Structure 1
Amino acid sequence: MTEPLLHVAGLRGGYGGKPVLQGVDLAVQAGEIVAVIGRNGVGKTTLLRTLMGLLPASAGTVRLRGADLGRLAAHRRARLGIGYVPQGRDVFPRMTVEENLRVGERIRGGAAPEDYAAVYDLFPILRERRSQRAGTLSGGQQQQLAIGRVLVGRPDLILLDEPSEGIQPNIVQEIGRIAVSLNRRTGVTVVLVEQNLDLIRATAGRCYVMDKGRITAELAPDALADRATVRRHLAV
């Protein structure tokens, strides 16, 4: 097997000295969509924030294409090709749709017109509302904007934290369809933290299960197809 795009070993970290991650190990190959699932409060969001460099690791390694990211800041990791869509979307509400997208191009030092065209083709509602303030969009539209802002920066790896949260089901289905289409067309790798069973099964090729700050199981495609198995790992 080729070297993983993302390799995490013994990762520990948390908030203000309080440990949350208790030695996370995982590997993601280039071109995969991999879900991380588990009950609320087991460390999934903390994992993504630590991978992005928004939280410091206290131990362990995060490697991208074999290179140890060490203590690189989030903006340095972004320039290496990691895009992060946080839980709750976190768009700039007073800026227009287009201004929000322009923030994304700074990640990799600029964007071409075709990068914007590609985002608008994926999310036509953003083209229609490109002059509208982001804070006046619906939750689903803001989620599309948050994903589009990352895509303008042409990432190789997208960390996507609970994209279905607070969004109507038809928009969730659309986001899932777009994620799969984008992955197949461009080869972008996605690590997805999610609780929505249908979205997990529609997008992910395999799945890691987290509990108490550790990876406790890995679900292969056949197990992922079993709703009861996945639901058991999501149960509160």
Structure 2
Amino acid sequence: MHSDILLETRGLWAGYGGKPVLQGVDMQVRAGEIVAVIGRNGVGKSTLMKSLIGLLPADRGTIDFKGQSLAKLAAHKRARLGIGYVPQGRDVFPRMSVEENLAVGLSISGSSSQAVFEEVYGHFPILAERRNQRAGTMSGGQQQQLAIGRVLVGKPSLILLDEPSEGIQPSIVMDIARLSVDLNRKTGVSIVLVEQNIDMIKAMAQRCYVMDKGRITATLTPEMLEDRETVRRYLAV
């Protein structure tokens, strides 16, 4: 593995109940890179994310992170190595306040709470304004920022975003994209996002993997991402 490669999978197979979904996924993510994974519904994108974080065991193949095999590591141990996961639907704790949600991530970082909170608030000012508000009363876009902030408390070097635009008003989607790109530029954190929203993909991704039938079938360059029709073709249901 080259020194600048943060995450690499080789021949990754995984599925449910003995039925394979991923069928030999090969991918690489470099340090500081934002990579999108796109494709039609049902081709294995979310299964890939769950396999990377450890919620779904690999049947075959390898996952290496910072040169270390993740094969036998549980999800919480992968998080402590520096992988943050924002699941589809965000999964914030609705009855807890913003700050209480952020506190959930403190066991990962080992840092003093207030210092870490203020850092997150610097990236997402709306969370500072709403720090005492129950998460369940916030908008979808604000909850998405909170979900990302909760991951940031753990000081990750890689964030996995599964369908970050889902359930968010179109006018707010690009705000989430802009904030994520700004976070990448300021901290150097790598991001892998599974997404269907063409505008969000174009705004965030530096490179793009295309999935079909459980495999990576193409890689789109930044120039190719500028062509909406090219991206749309790979997203077509």
TM over 0.5, yes or no?
yes
- The runs of at least 4 consecutive aligned structure 1 residues that moved more than 3 Å come to none
| Residue 229 of structure 2 corresponds to residue 228 of structure 1 | yes
Aligned to 1:18: 19
Offset, 1:182: 1.0
Which region of structure 1 is more displaced relative to structure 2, 121-130 or 41-50?
A: 121-130
Contact in 1 for aligned 2:36/2:209 (Cα 8 Å): yes
Q: How does 1:19-168 map to 2 (within 5 A)?
A: 19-168=20-169
- 1:188 corresponds to which letter in structure 2? V
| Residue 186 of structure 2 corresponds to residue 179 of structure 1 | no
Q: How does 1:187-206 map to 2 (within 5 A)?
A: 187-206=188-207
Offset, 1:130: 1.1
Contact in 1 for aligned 2:160/2:193 (Cα 8 Å): yes
Offset, 1:113: 2.8
Residues 15 and 222 of structure 1, relative CA distance in 2, 3 Å threshold = same
Q: Give deviations 1:1-44, integer Å, cap 9, x for gaps.
A: 64410010010111222211001000011000000000011000
- 2:104 corresponds to which letter in structure 1? V
Instruction: Provide TM-score, normalisation by structure 1.
Output: 0.97
SS at match of 1:7: strand
- 1:227 corresponds to which letter in structure 2? R
Gaps of 5+ in 1: none
Q: How many residues align?
A: 236
- 1:181 corresponds to which letter in structure 2? D
Q: Give deviations 1:157-214, integer Å, cap 9, x for gaps.
A: 0000111011012221111111111111111000010000001001110100000100
SS at match of 1:159: strand
CA RMSD of aligned residues (A): 1.2
Q: Give deviations 1:42-84, integer Å, cap 9, x for gaps.
A: 0000000000000000000000011111120000000000000
- 1:131 corresponds to which letter in structure 2? N
Which region of structure 1 is more displaced relative to structure 2, 97-106 or 121-130?
A: 121-130
SS at match of 2:160: strand
Contact in 2 for aligned 1:111/1:153 (Cα 8 Å): no
Contact in 2 for aligned 1:53/1:71 (Cα 8 Å): no
Instruction: Provide TM-score, normalisation by structure 2.
Output: 0.96
Contact in 1 for aligned 2:141/2:176 (Cα 8 Å): no
- 1:72 corresponds to which letter in structure 2? L
Offset, 1:121: 2.0
Offset, 1:111: 4.1
Gaps of 5+ in 2: none
